[in-house]
Structure 1
Amino acid sequence: MNIQKQNKADKIISRITTIIALIVLVVLLVWGGKTLLGYMRYEETNDAQVDEYINPVTARVSGYIKAVKFEENQEVKKGDTLVLIDDDDYTVQQDEASASLLNAQAQVSVQQSNIKTAQSNAAVMQAKIAAAKAKLWKQQTEYNRYQKLFAAESATRQQLETVESLLQVAQAEYLAAQEDYAAALSKTNDIKAQSEVLASEIKRRAAVVQRNKLNTSYTVIVAPYDGKMGRRTIQEGQLVQTGQTIAYIVDRSAGKWVVANFKETQIAKMYVGEPVSVAVDAFPDQAFAGEIESLSAATGARFSLLPPDNSTGNFVKIAQRIPVRIRISKQDKGIDLLSAGMSASVKVKRAQGHD
């Protein structure tokens, strides 16, 4: 009786074991088939990271920090004030440049007055030339008349010589009037040339004023675009130099993308615009939609600081990685959850053919 019960229990155990084995076999077959089908239909890689533009915010002028208006990891909008640099020195330079410009501009009216005066003097000299010319004509006529009288012995030599001397004086006065007029014209031209120099000087000083205004405006450092601030490493009272990095900002307006490093044997059928599924390790239950934006022009090793040289005699063939840039759709609701550097897995459906 006991033997029969034992045999019956063994049969039940054997049957249960068989059923469990069949269930496990079916599960393994389903999982294996699904995995094999996935390998046949998709190219996958977990060598991928989320990326976005992280740019330095630099000081464009030197000075002591007056105030820091942001905190670490703060969301900012384009134009928000980040840092104030003490602008006292730059304000003084701006005031000095503005005063210098006003001084140069005030000299314009003086130059214009000098030009008018010189032109008036030239007009007076021109009138004197006309008067001297008339006097010369009169003296020349008088001299000609006395020459005839002297020839007819109706005038003495003394009278002729007197008239001749007056003629020479008239000629000298006429030449002097012409030279005075030429000198007046030359002075007028000189003043006009000085006016051109002054106009150039005004432009130069205006440029200096504009430069000082820019330098003063650079003491207020603002966010260049919508983004999120990184680590804060500056304090009030700290001296910063021109070109010094004072903060980092993540550019939210440029979007986010994933750089997936596929093996060179995986990219044969990939093309720009192909849809991609992205899974991020930080959010394993959420899939992100994207598309291939570009494929690298060379392998990642070629862009390294010291690219490998296979001609050294130590060649070992290794499948190289090709960086593929994948743009994540901005319409994806979870895109704001992603941060640069997050690890990701990428799945791309194998294209059967693409021109």
Structure 2
Amino acid sequence: MNKGTNTNTNTNRTDRIISRVTTIVASIVVICLAIWGIRTLIRQARFEETNDAQVDEYINPVVAKVTGYIEEIRYDENQDVKKGDTLVVIDNSEYAAAQQEAEAALMNAKAQIAVIQSNVKTTDQSSKVYQSQIAAAKAKLTNQEQEYDRYKKLYDVESATKQQLDRVTAALDVARSDYKTAISSYEASLSRIEDAKVQLKALDAEIKRREAVVTRNDLTVSYTVILAPYDGKMGRRTIQPKQLVQAGQTLAFIVDREAGKWVIANYKETQIRHMKIGEKAKIVVDAYPGKSFTGVIESLSGATGSRFSLLPPDNATGNFVKIAQRIPVRIRLEGNSEELRELSAGMSAVVAVKKERN
């Protein structure tokens, strides 16, 4: 009888302990849930929060400007590069030959200027000689005209023979012809000078064209060495040496470190009424849950994200179901560049913006 009584007493005591522990645990859970609920309510009352957010930065393609075979690749996947670092070298043999040909053509055009200028100088000297010949021919013509007048008068009074008059007349005709020839030669020399000057102008234009060709070929040769346009980080490498690439082909992608980083937070349309440009935001990235970053709202999208999609929805085409739309909000990340360096484009984040009451 005593043994049974002791067993019942021990059972009752165990039940009371279990009941007490259960009550304590339940109370703690209820208190924790109440604290969490109160904090959540306070946070929702003070902040607009979304977990539909991603870190973003400019990722630009590195494009070949010329066609050719790849000679060297001087970067590795995910390598940090500085502005001006050589990324890819394309074989420039063909372009270098074209450049040499263009330079030779330019030198030839410049050499022709010296030749034409020499011809102009020579023709100018010749024109001076023709001027002397004109003076001599004119003097001779004047003398022959006077001689003809004398013999004509003598012939009229029958003091000279017809043969003498004919001889003087022929000499006068020769003198006139020589005078006209000298004038024509002088005029022709002047025309040659004008022609040479026109040729010089045309040659000047040709030289400018040749210089432009040389400049273009210099650019083409420079395009065979592809440089990093800014400080950044290379993406995946998809090319190999000796591979033929075409002008306009994408060779790699580079993450622009100079342009900074930002977060695109897609808030519901009911959350943005209190947001303003310049407002501060708190950002927690999933990759670093114990660390928070700060940012500033740069802009709010002019339309919902669905309107920028490839196939925007049209509510008039079928059954309408009202769904809260998302508005992309761009938030510029602030802080030490070394801290922001840890963040990569595409990382998920949680963004909280304090509500501003009007």
The equivalent of 2:130 in structure 1 is 125
TM-score for both structures, normalised by structure 2: 0.89
Q: Which residue of 2 aligns with 1:57?
A: 62
Shift of 1:207: 2.0
Superposed CA deviations along residues 104-152 of structure 1, whole A, max 9, x for unmatched, are 2222211111111111122222222222222223333333444444555
Tell me whether 15-24 or 162-171 shows the greater mean CA deviation: 15-24
Give the corresponding residue for 1:281. 286
Residues 30-69 of structure 1, C-alpha deviation per residue, up to 9 Å, x if partnerless? 3222211111111111111111111111111121111111
For residues 258 and 230 of structure 2, the distance between their equivalents in structure 1, rounded to whole angstroms, comes to 7
Distance in 1 (CA, whole Å) between partners of 2:191 and 2:55 is 75
Q: Corresponding residue for 2:306?
A: 301
Q: 2:51 aligns with which of 26, 46, 49?
A: 46
2:75 to 38, 45, 70: 70
The match for 1:140 is 145
Matches within 5 A, 1:216-295: 216-295=221-300
Residues 26 and 330 (structure 1), Cα distance of their counterparts in 2 relative to 1, 3 Å cut: closer
Shift of 1:294: 1.1
Q: C-alpha displacement at 1:339, in angstroms? A: 0.5
In the alignment, which residue of structure 2 is the partner of 1:311?
316
Q: Is the 8 A contact 2:294 2:335 kept in 1?
A: no
CA contact (8 A) 1:289 1:332 kept: no
Query: Normalising by structure 1, what TM-score?
Result: 0.90
Q: CA deviation at 1:91?
A: 2.0
Structure-2 separation of matches of 1:126 and 1:295? 86
Unaligned runs of 5+ residues in structure 1 are none
- Name the SS of the counterpart of 2:203 in structure 1: helix
Task: Find the aligned partners of 2:292 and 2:338 in 1 and give their Cα distance.
Answer: 11
Per-residue Cα deviation, 1:57-96 (whole angstroms, up to 9, x for no partner): 1111121111111111111111111111122222222222
Q: 1:285 aligns to what SS in structure 2?
A: coil
Aligned mates of 1:35, 1:80 — CA distance in 2: 50
For residue 69 of structure 2, what is the amino acid of its counterpart? Answer: Y
Gaps of 5+ in 2: none
Give the CA RMSD over aligned residues. 2.5
141-150 or 96-105: bigger deviation:
141-150
Q: 1-side partners of 2:248 and 2:70: how far apart?
A: 14
Which one is further off, 158-167 or 307-316?
Answer: 158-167
Counterpart residue identity of residue 45, structure 1: T
Give the counterpart letter for 1:173 in structure 2. D
Q: C-alpha displacement at 1:29, in angstroms?
A: 3.0
Q: What's the secondary structure of 1:28's corresponding residue?
A: helix
In the alignment, which of 217, 224, 230 is matched to residue 212 of structure 1? Answer: 217
State the alpha-carbon separation in 2 of the partners of residues 202 and 53 from structure 1: 43
CA 17–236 in structure 1, closer or farther in 2 if over 3 Å, else same: closer
- SS of the residue aligned with 1:60? coil
In 2, Cα distance between equivalents of 1:340 and 1:8? 61
Deviation at 1:239, TM superposition (A): 1.2
Paired residues in the alignment total 353
Q: How does 1:68-107 map to 2 (within 5 A)?
A: 68-107=73-112
Contact 2:234 2:255 in 1 (8 A): yes
